[in-house]
Amino acid sequence: MNINIRSATVAAIAASWMTPGFADETCNSPYLSKLIKGQEDYVYVWTLGVEGMGDGYDKLVTVDVNPKSKKYGKVIASASTGARGEAHHMGFTDDRRQIWAGGLADTKIFVFDIATDPAKPKLVKTIDMAQRTSYLGPHTYYALPGRMLVQALSNTRDKGGVTGMAVYNNKGEFVSSHPMPTTNGGDGYGYDLAVNPKKNVLLTSSFAGYNNYMRPFGDLVKDAEAMKNFGNTMVVWDLKAMKPTKVFAVPGAPLEIRWSLAPKDNWAVTATALTSKIWLVKQDAKGEWQAKEVATIGDGKQIPVDISITQDGKGLWVNTFMDGKTRYFDLSNPEAPKQTYEKVTGKQVNMVSQSWDGKRVYVTSSLLANWDKGGADNEQFLRAFTWDGKDLKPVFEVDFTKENLGRAHHMKLGAQKL
């Protein structure tokens, strides 16, 4: 299947991707229009439902984050799905009129209208990914021109890690499916995806299937056979043709992928969950894409769960779940990242998002319902910080347990007007 992204369109969007001065997130698709040109007004938090807490369902929560607002730091809306399916990630459509979101325990994709009233998203459509594919656990939602590319983590046949991607148009109509490669070094696993339009490259990473990620973490790590069932690859794809062209061996479950946004850069980084490494993917002198380990995170025993690259490509935020730390790495030389800062931002931390100008950093707490810590360590929050280049300074916190909302996971930035 050919996605039919014309070269002129790719060039125009790639140019807008590199335009400085915006305050939007640095991990969005380069095809996203209507970037936030200043202070964001909202943080949308995709939240796992907890039985007996509020309505118990997964929901999209809106938090007011504009310091000039009377409701600054407060929850102002919540849109429930009426279901509980391990809410995880979400993404904007290219026109930014919708957020698509889903859970790892289900096959459903939830479509929220954020254009009619950005402060109060509304659930307008539900898509069952399994109706046209065998995929389970939709994870990454990535905007293409007029379409959404969705990466799944598992499948409905055996709930293992062999999975694939599906393409839908912005109306939610199925276009095509694309299995993760299982030959030429491919293990069939998937996790995140990200595009470099200048090079016509789609890059994917890998994690594990339902049978692993839905188990209690303590039980899983004691099961030697189950611990073998994690992804150890990244794949380079021809974006226009949606065909894999090269498979890298990247041991330890490579997770989020972040391309440098600097105009002259053509490289990406990822972090491996099980080996606590930073890997670099870039072209060599012959123009061949290569992947190599370039740094160790902390003592090498932590679990990096999210990364956020600065808009100039010179810095990387890394959250590690078990020790609750947010770290900053200097990426001035991507071949040799150096940690320059760390701070405990929670008893457990998961996602990290920064504004385009790098002055604001947001952190959430939940990894997976069965992997989160227990007792007093089971904090569930959205925490906001300012960053002056030297220190993260807390400015507000929303306690999701106290608010009866659930477990806070993924974040996207929003605005009243775009």
pLDDT band at 69 (very low <50, low <70, confident <90, very high): very high
What is the CATH number for 24? 2.130.10.10
User: Is residue 372 a part of any domain in this protein?
Assistant: no
**Whether pLDDT at 341 is above 80:** yes
Residues linked to residue 203 through DSSP beta bridges, in sequence order: 194, 236
**Whether pLDDT at 10 is above 60:** no
Determine what percent of the chain is predicted with pLDDT higher than 70.
Answer: 94
User: Is residue 117 a part of any domain in this protein?
Assistant: yes
User: Is residue 243 a part of any domain in this protein?
Assistant: yes
Q: What is the value of pTM for the model shown?
A: 0.94
Name which of 28, 83, 53 is nearest 308 in CA terms. 28
Question: Do 172 and 97 contact (CB within 8 A), yes or no?
Answer: no
User: Is residue 314 a part of any domain in this protein?
Assistant: no
Query: In what helix (H) or strand (E) does residue 127 lie, and over which residues does it extend?
Result: strand 122-128
Name which of 367, 281, 373, 271 is nearest 327 in CA terms. 271
The pLDDT assigned to 23 comes to: 56
The pLDDT assigned to 325 comes to: 98
Question: Do 242 and 176 contact (CB within 8 A), yes or no?
Answer: yes
Name which of 53, 163, 33, 67 is nearest 107 in CA terms. 163
User: Is residue 297 a part of any domain in this protein?
Assistant: yes
Averaged pLDDT, 266-279 = 98
User: Is residue 310 a part of any domain in this protein?
Assistant: no
**Average pLDDT of the residues of the chain:** 94
Total domains in the fold of the chain = 1
pLDDT band at 25 (very low <50, low <70, confident <90, very high): confident
* Residue 47 belongs to domain spanning: 7-301
Name which of 59, 43, 107 is nearest 406 in CA terms. 59
Q: 215 — phi, psi (to 5°)?
A: -85, 150
Averaged pLDDT, 318-345 = 98
The pLDDT assigned to 24 comes to: 79
Distances 263 to 17, 71, 161, 267, 303 between C-alpha atoms, Å: 9, 37, 35, 11, 31
The pLDDT assigned to 12 comes to: 41
User: Is residue 311 a part of any domain in this protein?
Assistant: no
**Whether pLDDT at 13 is above 70:** no
pLDDT band at 35 (very low <50, low <70, confident <90, very high): confident
Name which of 335, 314, 308, 307 is nearest 264 in CA terms. 314
Calculate the dihedral angle through the C-alpha atoms of 23, 27, 32, 34, rounding to the nearest 10 degrees: -10
| 3 state SS for 174-236 | EEEEEECCCCCCCCCCCCCEEEEHHHCEEEECCCCCHHHHCCCHHHHHCCCCHHHCCCCEEEE
Question: Do 109 and 126 contact (CB within 8 A), yes or no?
Answer: yes
Distance CA 17, CA 22 (A): 10
Residues linked to residue 113 through DSSP beta bridges, in sequence order: 98, 122
Averaged pLDDT, 31-40 = 88
User: Is residue 87 a part of any domain in this protein?
Assistant: yes
